Amino acid sequence: MSKITQLKLENFTAFHSIDVRFSPGVNVLIGANGTGKTHLLKVLYAACAITVGEDRERGFERKLAGVFHPFQSDISRLIRRRPGRSGGAALAVWRDDGTRLLGSIAPRVVDSRHDSTPQVSPWAETPLESAYIPVKEMLAHAPGFLSTAARREIAFEEVYVDILRQAFLPKLKGDLDPDRQRLLDLLQQAIGGKVVSKGEHFFLKNRRGELEFTLLAEGMRKLALLWLLIQNGTLRPGSVLFWDEPEANLNPALMGDVIEVVLALQRLGVQVFMSTHNYVMLKELDLRTQSHDQVRYLSLFLGVDDSVTCQSSEHYASIDPNAMAATFDSLYARDMARALQGVARA
């Protein structure tokens, strides 16, 4: 089961030069807005996507263009912009089997879809199944979306098209193994039922009937999507899950369930990359991690020259900087100060 081990970016979006090494288990990206968490997820997802299906013939740069969806499909817009400087961008991704994927972006490359067809690289010869769950939930918008995307230009990154295609995959033949069944049971308890589809419409089925997804809370629909990806075999040993802000629109009471599923997937051999802005989500991971779990925290922050840099840690207490914990501590201190003022007045 091949794992992603390292990523290097030069002159790409917010990054002047960055070299990040990953855990084979769970990798958590934290940092303020604008520090490139989603960009890292998308680069790694594009690297995985070109090893399977139709994307194998497209090549890394073309998939990057589809995933990032720059203006007029001009991939050169992903080059880091600095006054008075020009030049291209370079990208490199490594796996633990020794293969390396190299990519480059030259200035002023307009509409990369019309470039000559790239050759399948050695990187793509070994499939690396993956799924990218974006911040915006898409199951409620599924009817007609894929057929529209196939015929017309739409203002959506390819991650939305890709995840819907995976959601519509039928269940694998045969019985589920006990570990995956336990994950499904946990998610079914959280969402209150099972997911069924009729045509292009998704429903939550329970003892009260079938409730269409347009009537479900968005946070519940995201958990339902995770249920589908586990049930249909998209997420299985050797695959990679990218999840951008799983806490978005999710009741904090359910965040512990999300972390239990993420850790369980890692124990089954799924490599996980997730970004979060949420203190509760981060602490749930810290408190639920067991000694044999493989978790790495990656803190992104602005360094010199307004370029993003990264500090990594295997332990929550060693995260530095930790903007979420600092904000929480500030809130707690202010709350305590107000309470003490009330006691003093009394």
- Please give the CATH number for the structural domain made up of 1-129+238-346: 3.40.50
The pLDDT assigned to 96 comes to 94
As a whole number, mean pLDDT of residues 232-246 equals 95
The pLDDT assigned to 30 comes to 95
pLDDT, one tens digit per residue, over 22-59 is 999 999 999 988 899 999 999 999 999 999 988 888 88
Helices (H) and strands (E) in the chain, counts: 9, 13
The pLDDT assigned to 339 comes to 85
More confident residue, 232 or 120: 232
The pLDDT assigned to 159 comes to 96
pLDDT, one tens digit per residue, over 201-236 is 999 998 889 999 999 988 889 999 999 999 999 999
Residue among 191, 196, 184 nearest 218 (CA): 191
The pLDDT assigned to 101 comes to 95
Sketch the domain layout of the chain as residue ranges. Answer: 1-129+238-346, 137-235
pLDDT, one tens digit per residue, over 312-331 is 999 988 888 887 788 878 88
The C-alpha angle 306, 280, 337, rounded to 5 degrees, equals 85
The pLDDT assigned to 342 comes to 77
Q: How far apart are CA 245 and CA 280, in angstroms?
A: 12
pLDDT band at 345 (very low <50, low <70, confident <90, very high): confident
Q: How far apart are CA 7 and CA 16, in angstroms?
A: 13
The pLDDT assigned to 225 comes to 94
Q: How far apart are CA 268 and CA 145, in angstroms?
A: 32
Q: Report the percent of the chain where pLDDT is more than 70.
A: 95
The pLDDT assigned to 223 comes to 92
pLDDT above 80 for 120? no
